[in-house]
Structure 1
């Protein structure tokens, strides 16, 4: 997915109009429209960081380089990578990421992964 599509998706997920996001970012509504149409791309590195922070996603996700929304936490305007076992992602996002990755696999591979998950669940529950 391209930056333009990601930006629109993220904006709509937050229930924002282009005008709302433009006001938050202190840019014009037309700029947001152009970004979402893929006509223009933000040439300001700080704006890209601001977008990623606002939507709580990684810059890689925002730019379409990754399908993992975020494994970063923003603290005092600095991005700090957390350990893989403690990154700040809600369950819905984690499941979305998992389903996206699994969706490209063969049925046989998905069945094998399901078996492994059941083994882990059984170990946890015993």
Structure 2
């Protein structure tokens, strides 16, 4: 999905008009319309960041580079997590582990992602 499609989808998901979004972003309604039609693209990186923060999605998701909405950066401030397993322990970089997981899951169909999520919940409940 491309930036114009994502922008429109995100705006419509929260029942926001182009005019309301334009006011928040301090741009014209016509600019929002042009972005959604794909006839123009924001040339200010700060504006792209502001849009992604407003909708609580990653810039990669907004630009269509991934189907993962959030980067989960706020949960990844811990550099390493200590893992205790079978009388041994090691440290795992949580951010790298989740990025690898997201990379593997990103191209799966929604059906497989839902099945994988159910499996993870079952596994989590067993712990």
Whether TM exceeds 0.5 here: the answer is: yes
1:83-123 CA distance string (max 9 Å, x none) = 658xxxxxxxxxxxx79834376xxxx97x58955862662
Instruction: Specify every segment of 5 or more residues in structure 2 that has no aligned partner in the other structure, as ranges.
Output: 79-93, 96-104
Which residues of 2 match residues 57-96 of structure 1 at below 5 A? Answer: 57-72=57-72, 82=77, 84=94
Instruction: State the match for 1:44 in structure 2.
Output: 44
The CA distance in 2 between the partners of 1:59 and 1:114, in whole Å, is 24
C-alpha displacement of 1:13: 1.0
- Answer yes or no: is the 8 Å Cα contact 2:67–2:106 preserved in 1: no
Question: Is the contact between residue 18 and residue 32 of structure 1 (CA under 8 Å) also seen in structure 2?
Answer: yes
Cα distance, 1:119–1:59 mapped onto 2, change above 3 Å: closer
Per the TM alignment, residue 14 of structure 1 is displaced from its structure 2 partner at its CA by 1.5
Q: Aligned-residue CA RMSD in angstroms?
A: 3.3
| 2:21 counterpart of 1:21 | yes
What TM-score do the two structures reach when normalised by structure 1? Answer: 0.65
Q: TM-score, normalised by structure 2?
A: 0.64
Matches of 2:9 and 2:51, distance apart in 1 = 13
Deviation at 1:60, TM superposition (A): 0.2
- Which protein is bigger by CA-based radius of gyration? 2
Structure 1, unaligned runs of 5 or more: 75-79, 86-97
